[in-house]
Amino acid sequence: MVKITFIDPDGKKHEVEAEEGTTLMEAAIRNMVPGIDADCGGACACATCHVYVDPAWAERLPHLLQRSETEEDMLDFAFDVRENSRLSCQIKITADMDGLVVHVPQQQG
């Protein structure tokens, strides 16, 4: 299992255990992390699973910032998109992400 920490806009931490091969979005939904809606169920078609990759982790694992063209297009519909924005349904969890920190935006969509 891989430990992931979601930090909400108020700074509250939600630590979850996730299985390798699942997605960050699935980990959030299974653990009822507030602020991740995931309306389309992971089809990269809603932008309501938006998160910010923690800068320290983006530096450590630069591939965490690599978005597909479809994801780029969907992010146009997200609120307050930044350089480290990702759709969490598009991030597959791997062992090297143990301890990963991501931030939940103020609002989705």
Nearer to ligand FES, 60 or 67 (CB): 67
User: Alpha-carbon distance 99 to 109, whole Å?
Assistant: 27
**Does the footprint of ligand FES cover residue 46 (CB under 6 A)?**
yes
As measured in angstroms, the least distance from the Cβ of 51 to ligand FES is 10
**Does the footprint of ligand FES cover residue 45 (CB under 6 A)?**
yes
**Does the footprint of ligand FES cover residue 61 (CB under 6 A)?**
no
As measured in angstroms, the least distance from the Cβ of 76 to ligand FES is 12
When binding is defined by CB under 6 A, the residue of 3, 5, 22, 44 that contacts ligand FES is 44
When binding is defined by CB under 6 A, the residue of 42, 65, 67, 77 that contacts ligand FES is 42
User: Alpha-carbon distance 57 to 65, whole Å?
Assistant: 10
Residue 31: how many CA atoms within 13 Å on its side-chain side?
Answer: 18
| Total residues binding ligand FES (CB under 6 A) | 15
Per-residue tokens: 10: 């108020």
Q: DSSP states of 21-87 as a string?
A: TSBHHHHHHHTT-TT---TTSSSS-S--SEEEE-HHHHHH-GGGG---HHHHHHHTTSSS--TTEEE
In the complex, which residues of this chain contact ligand FES (CB under 6 A)?
25, 38-40, 42-49, 74, 87, 89
